[in-house]
Structure 1
Amino acid sequence: MATLVDNQGWPEIAIEEIADVNPRVDKASIPDDLPVSFVPMPAVGAADGTIHVEETRPASKVKKGFTAFLEGDVLFAKITPCMENGKMAVVPALVNGYGFGSTEFHVLRPKPGMDAKYLYYYVSSQSFRREAERHMTGAVGQRRVPTTYLKECKIPVAPLDQQKRIVAEIEKQFSRLDEAVANLKRVKANLKRYKAAVLKAAVSGRLVETEAELARREGRSYETGGQLLQRILETRRSQWKGKGKYKEPAAPDTTDLPELPEGWVWASLDELSDVVRGGSPRPAGDPRYFGGPVPWITVGPLTADESDYLHRVPEGLTFEGKERSRYIEPDTLLLTNSGATLGVPKISLIGGCINDGVAALLGVGYPLKRYLVNFLRTKTMTLRRINQGAAQPNLNTSIIKAMIVPLPPEAEQHQIVAEVDLRLSLLRETEAQVDANFRRAERMRQSILSRAFSGELINESTFLYTTAAASAI
């Protein structure tokens, strides 16, 4: 039944009265060899109304098992998380006039007197999606918006001429927002490039004045990177408590490496640290080993954010599980070595057990530990391109050990770490402001839609136009 919206007198009408929901298409009339547009779920943008219809398939391949639609229909993703993410769009011109796509789309075909874009903007609004989410049914991960619920949802229906004015005003204001958001994205990209440039400069001797230059100007001697490396090796040798005879770490082959700044030296991670890999208690999920108080450090917590430190983890092992894993002390440098997010370095501020997707670089002190975090961040993408033929990206400890590090004097490391921290701190503040503006833009977008369907948007537009005209007179 239709009800009235107080402020405009617009009736609120069930969607099934103003649009055909999941209408049938006469598939038998479509020649089997006719190319038609094919729209999988990824072809529809999230909360931006974009849709790509360039992909084609023979009609015979999509008549069965796919959702059919026509130009001017509104596609509405019904499954989680696509619905919550706003995968909705108005269908543009299609190849030969027909489209087929994911069975996870509801199709809304506006009836006469209903503007497709008006309907799209209403059902794609955040408030509509949030309410639809509350009415989803099905198992976790497979929850969907029921057809019955969608049919019964009510929409404030303005007269057609006002619908078109509302759509035009929405798109005018969205266009301004889109320009602002595009500028924010450019700023975000520039900040990302700046961060990469800072880290690259830090590990190539171009971020701060080198210790060699400072010592020469001040007329003093200094410990070079080579002397530091020898000190590290002697300390590791003297403190060896492992099984069997101490094995000297492998020195890197520097034949084809570029020249380093004065006072720097090439070193392998094998020389600078004791690289070990974690281990998972077996069988996985055994209640004897999991669900206890010992922090369980996996790839997930290490890649949850872009900070350099790990503060907490959501899971734990029992003390029996601890004996079947590898425990690391607080303040240990870790590196993810498995999955799509491998190559992420982080210093764990907590002690805990690491699983087999994580490597630990033991025996590294300050400031080298912080310097290595900066260095490893410059190598993340390089590490991810390494393919060992496994089902998923994976780094064994031999690859990590063989990584070659440009090692500056320890005094210079202190200066590099301090300068990187300062610059990235300022960068994070700017990023936070940009992210706040992204959120503000989204709030403004939803506010525009809210005002549009209460009639306020075209009233504001009319008022501004009348005022401007009166001023001109």
Structure 2
Amino acid sequence: MSESSKLSKHSEEGKRVKMGPRTLIIPEDWEDVAFEDAIELNPSYDKPDRESFAFLPMDAVDEDKQTIEYWMERERDDCTSTWFTNGDTVYPKITPCTENGKIALIEGVETEFGSGSTEFLVFHPREGITDDRFVYYLSNLPDFRAVTISLMEGSTGRQRVPSDVFEGGIHIPLPSLAEQRHLADILSTVDEQIQQTAEIIEKRDELLTGLKQDLLLGRSGTDQQEIQMGPKSVWIDSSWDVSKLGDVGHDGEKSFVDGDWVESDDMVADGPYQLIQLGNIGIGEFKGECDKFVSEGFFQENNCTLVEKGDLLISRLADPVLRTIEVPEFEKKSITAVDIVVAKVDESAWDKRYLRFLLNSKVMSDVGGALATGSTRQRISRKNMETITIPKPPRETQTQIADVLETAHTEVKAEKRYKENLQDLKRGLMQDLLTGKTRVNIN
């Protein structure tokens, strides 16, 4: 039977649960119970007579995957007052960890009991009342997290969730133990798929990083030559030429120039030219939207550089320096900010995709970072950027390299989109399953 066939929608009518300041509507056959009647907060454990225990620092919880990435070991006397065992959920009580979701289900503790950061709250399922995975998923419910965040106390930047908010102040929806286990099974299945996809992405990213270095620098060949890229010595294919970065533009004016100096007073509500800013320059991808504009008069008076589809935009500011995008097609005409270099590439000599991959590679980030200066914001001057020596494979080879890397990038992006879709599915399922909007047919 598929997971979807086990689920059914229930009526919008039901009883109300006061989860702190929030009200949830749950099925009539579910219980409305005080948090502490279903879940024990910060339980006291009789620890075995051991010299050392597993220790969980806050940094070890990955907020994206909500998994424990590593364990430390501490002598018994160096452990904190925070203790847990397998099946408990650790919940961060301090900002910004609470907001970021550093929540984890404790599994695989070999020392039977473990200790952790004092900034964790420990949720222990009460035997015969709550399932351990149900407690974990309930603590991830957006409503539950929003309530605990709204009840934080303390000075700005060091706010904490006080333990007493769980003493009568928060009620939770509670289905039967059998239904808890079934809905936890469904959410666990989605979690497993997310984790498997994340592992695939991580492996492909590692392979892609190595592939980039080998292909972009021609490392697969046996005959190599050493070139100086800024302060960095790099080996490339001995049959390749080299070029200065400033020479990638086609002949003519404004083929490798800084963007334009635009101040806030120069902007208008909705002019004919949009301003591409540093925040729009991702690593190989245009980010966000353009929400700043200038007039035709400003463009003409300041002899601005028109940014066109296919131009390369190269950031002079970290982080990282030299990150590059190829300009997509826009409805409006565009200009760009002064800390971005506009490169109008000579396509008879260069495949723009090869240049984009090269400029976004680790070796170029290292070169750009080494040449950047500034006490507060590190930037590289266009003059210094122009002098960087880069490899120049034959035009046909550039295209072959770009084709391979484009295919590999497309595959990674597809996996990332799939992971994002699974995360969206999980959020929706949690909201519906944990409030009883969607029921699990357990018979």
TM bucket, shorter chain: 0.5 to 0.7
Name the aligned partner's letter for residue 316 of structure 2.
N
- Asked if residue 302 in structure 1 is aligned to residue 316 in structure 2, the reply is no
CA contact (8 A) 1:333 1:345 kept: yes
Structure having the higher Rg: 1
Q: 1:171 to 1:2 in 2, by over 3 A?
A: same
Counterpart of 1:155 in structure 2 is 173
CA contact (8 A) 2:201 2:416 kept: no
Q: How does 1:35-46 map to 2 (within 5 A)?
A: 39-46=56-63
Counterpart of 1:469 in structure 2 is none
Distance (whole Å) between structure 2 residues aligned to residue 107 and residue 252 of structure 1: 52
Distance (whole Å) between structure 1 residues aligned to residue 55 and residue 143 of structure 2: 27
CA contact (8 A) 2:134 2:184 kept: no
Distance (whole Å) between structure 2 residues aligned to residue 437 and residue 256 of structure 1: 37
- SS of equivalent to 2:62: coil
Measured after TM superposition, the shift of residue 135 of structure 1 is 5.1
Q: How does 1:5-404 map to 2 (within 5 A)?
A: 6=27, 9-21=29-41, 39-46=56-63, 47-50=65-68, 52=70, 54=72, 56=74, 68-72=81-85, 74-78=89-93, 82-83=97-98, 85-90=100-105, 99=115, 101=117, 103=119, 105-111=120-126, 113-115=128-130, 117-118=132-133, 120-129=135-144, 132=147, 151-156=169-174, 158-159=176-177, 162=178, 166=181, 170=184, 174=188, 178=192, 181-182=195-196, 185-186=199-200, 189-190=203-204, 193-194=207-208, 197=211, 201=215, 204=218, 260-261=238-239, 265-273=241-249, 276-277=257-258, 288-289=265-266, 293=271, 295-303=274-282, 306-307=284-285, 312-316=289-293, 327-331=304-308, 332-348=311-327, 351-356=334-339, 358-361=340-343, 364-367=345-348, 368=350, 370=352, 371-378=354-361, 379-383=363-367, 386=370, 394-404=379-389
Q: 1:107 to 1:384 in 2, by over 3 A?
A: farther
Q: 1:102 to 1:111 in 2, by over 3 A?
A: same
Measured after TM superposition, the shift of residue 301 of structure 1 is 0.6
Give the structure with the higher percent strand: 2
Name the aligned partner's letter for residue 391 of structure 2.
P
- SS of equivalent to 1:359: strand
- SS of equivalent to 1:346: strand
Q: 1:252 to 1:15 in 2, by over 3 A?
A: closer
Q: 1:347 to 1:12 in 2, by over 3 A?
A: same
Distance (whole Å) between structure 2 residues aligned to residue 79 and residue 323 of structure 1: 53
Return 5+ residue gaps in structure 2 as ranges: 1-14, 18-24, 46-50, 222-228, 250-254
Distance (whole Å) between structure 2 residues aligned to residue 252 and residue 110 of structure 1: 59
Name the aligned partner's letter for residue 359 of structure 1.
V
Measured after TM superposition, the shift of residue 203 of structure 1 is 6.4
Measured after TM superposition, the shift of residue 152 of structure 1 is 1.4
Q: Percent identical across equivalent pairs? A: 14
Q: 1:420 to 1:80 in 2, by over 3 A?
A: farther
CA contact (8 A) 2:190 2:422 kept: no
Measured after TM superposition, the shift of residue 265 of structure 1 is 2.6
CA contact (8 A) 2:218 2:236 kept: no
Measured after TM superposition, the shift of residue 334 of structure 1 is 2.2
- SS of equivalent to 2:341: strand
Give the structure with the higher percent helix: 1
**RMSD (CA atoms):** 5.6
Q: How many residues align?
A: 384
Name the aligned partner's letter for residue 359 of structure 2.
L
Task: Compare relative contact order (CA 8 Å, sep 6+) and give the higher one, 1 or 2.
Answer: 2
Measured after TM superposition, the shift of residue 18 of structure 1 is 2.7
CA contact (8 A) 1:35 1:57 kept: yes
Name the aligned partner's letter for residue 300 of structure 1.
G
Measured after TM superposition, the shift of residue 74 of structure 1 is 3.3
Measured after TM superposition, the shift of residue 311 of structure 1 is 9.2
- SS of equivalent to 1:328: coil
Return 5+ residue gaps in structure 1 as ranges: 27-33, 208-250, 464-473
CA contact (8 A) 1:290 1:318 kept: yes
Q: Per-residue displacement from partner, 1:23-68 (whole Å, max 9, x unpaired)?
A: 8x89xxxxxxx998765532223253437552659979x98xxxx5
